Amino acid sequence: MNSVSASVLVNGRSVTIDGHGATTLLEFLRNSLGLTGTKEGCSEGECGACTVLIDGQPITSCLYPVLAAEGRHVETIEGVSEGSDLSPLQETLITAGGIQCGFCTPGFVMTLTALLRKQPNPTGEEVANALAGNLCRCTGYSQIVEAAISLSGVERKS
């Protein structure tokens, strides 16, 4: 019932989970795997800074037990770019002024990546709804929303 070892796919790579009980996916990614692109903000699922994708769905990794991720595919900000090439979404966020301090950005990128795969041509309202769980204290959101809309049909769907 309580298997000794469990593995999870992180950005396409199979890794062994070393967490126990209530270890969060966020702790595992940052402390065990050294993937520090995913940020810890509120630790209560309110701010979205720690958003990663599990089987394509955005979740707050600060509230997700790592052992619940067994056998699933976790995508983090480190898996979004290809080598040193930023994704079209990341490029557009930069040119649109959708980034200032950048702390919330990995979370926004993950949520928007999930949205654009599901809906390549989102309306402003769809973008705003999708981002309801991501807080940004710098940009005022409009540049982020505009960046996502301007990408219509451009973002890779992999």
Partner 1 sequence: MEFRRSGDLDEALASLAELGDKAQVLAGGTDVMIQLERGEISPETLVHIERIEGMRSIAENGRLTLGALVTHIDLAQSPVLCDRYQSVARAASLVGGWQTQAVGTIGGNVCNASPAADLLPPLLVHGANVLLASKDRGEREVPLADFVVGRRTIAREPDELVTGFSLDNSDSRTADIYKKVGRRGAMEVAIVGLAIRLSVDSTGTINDARIAVCSVAPVPFRAQAAEQALLGTKANSEETRTAAALILEQAEPIDDVRATARYRKMVLPRIFENAVDQCYSRVASDLS
Binding site residues, partner 1, CB under 8 A: 1-3, 20-22, 24, 43-46, 48, 51, 57-60, 62-65, 67-68, 70, 111, 114, 129-134
Shortest distance (Å) from residue 85 CB to partner 1: 27
For partner 1, the closer CB: 85 or 125: 125
For partner 1, the closer CB: 95 or 142: 142
Q: List, in sequence order, every residue forming a beta bridge with 57; answer none if it has no partner.
A: 54
Shortest distance (Å) from residue 126 CB to partner 1: 11
For partner 1, the closer CB: 95 or 129: 129
Q: At what angle do helices 105-118 and 142-150 cross, to 10 degrees?
A: 40
Shortest distance (Å) from residue 90 CB to partner 1: 20
Q: Chain centroid to CA 151: how far?
A: 18
In angstroms, rounded to a whole number, what is the distance separating the alpha carbons of residues 92 and 151? 8
Can you spell out the DSSP letters for 55-71? TTEEEETTSSBGGGGTT
